[in-house]
Amino acid sequence: MRVLVTGGAGFIGSWVTRVLLEEQHEVTVVDNLSKGFRTLIPEGVRFIEGDLRDEDHLPGWLRGHDAVIHMAAFIEVGRSVQEPLVFAENNIINSVRLLDAMHKADVGKIVFSSSATVYGTPQSLPIRETDPLGTQSNPYGASKVATEAFVATYHQLYQMDAIILRYFNPYGPNELHEPETHAIPNFIRAALDRKPVPLYWKGEQVRDFIYVEDLARAHTAVLAQAGLQYYNVGTGTGTKMIDVIGEITDILEYHVDIEDMGERPGDVHALYAWSEKLAAATGWRAQISLHEGLRRTIDWFRSQA
């Protein structure tokens, strides 16, 4: 299959691109490198340094592809609160530009990178795809809800196959965000530097941490899907933050101190997925344990040092 990946030079996008190549797909990456890194794009990929705002060139870049995996988005929650218009333009408007260009270029399938944030504060656990979407506490979450709605609209208008993947908490090698807002890379960086590990809520928050390679394989698993589909992508297991730090210290084989950051407004206490719908439809399941994933991630951060 000929697949175009937007944001394919980023953390998750570079892993998706690698898995696509491994499975013998032809791959084009479109990335403006504002957040991605050219060095993360593997050999064998056609690379276009371009922006989704470029409405003149976008249909031409798309033409001839069978599917798009759309991963080009800003993700920093705090920045979204400070710059909501920037997030609306980049995450929502650019996604509509992409969908419209896909229609013009006769590309009939999109896999959209969404997020478990669309559920807001869950009413029950584990979270299922049939659960209602929640009120959003920040523009980042609102941008995911809005883009999901536009993807569904283009399916309705033009019968575009639309597969929406709601990620839980990815982690792993190639995570080079600056500033870094995700827990696991911040835990690992602090621990490797022998600095106190920053921890909110005394580590009692529960999250569903999924290794990035497992997440990447979910994207190729759904390429054969048709219609409008929504899938959670998680391990189905919730882990407390304090227990993640315990796993990290077990791997490092030395003690690290904790920096108590207190409470943080807007945090949801617990999130973890019911991913049986995706497993039933495609056979996909997460394969890498938290301990093994953390070991690989620590090794990668050590190699960067």
Q: Which residues contact 172 (CB under 8 A, 6 or more apart)?
A: 15, 211, 212, 213, 293, 296, 297, 300
**Strand bridging mode 258-260 / 197-199:** parallel
> Is 158 among the catalytic positions?
no
**Strand bridging mode 46-49 / 161-167:** unpaired
> Exposed (0-12), middle (13-18) or buried (19+): which is 56, by Cβ within 10 Å?
exposed
Q: Kindly state the greatest CA–CA separation across the chain.
A: 57
Q: What whole-number distance in Å separates Cα of residue 40 and Cα of residue 296?
A: 17
Instruction: Considering the candidates 119, 140, 231, 272, report the single residue annotated as catalytic.
Output: 140
**Beta-bridge partner residues of 211:** 171
Do 41 and 14 touch, CB atoms closer than 8 A? yes
Active-site positions read 140
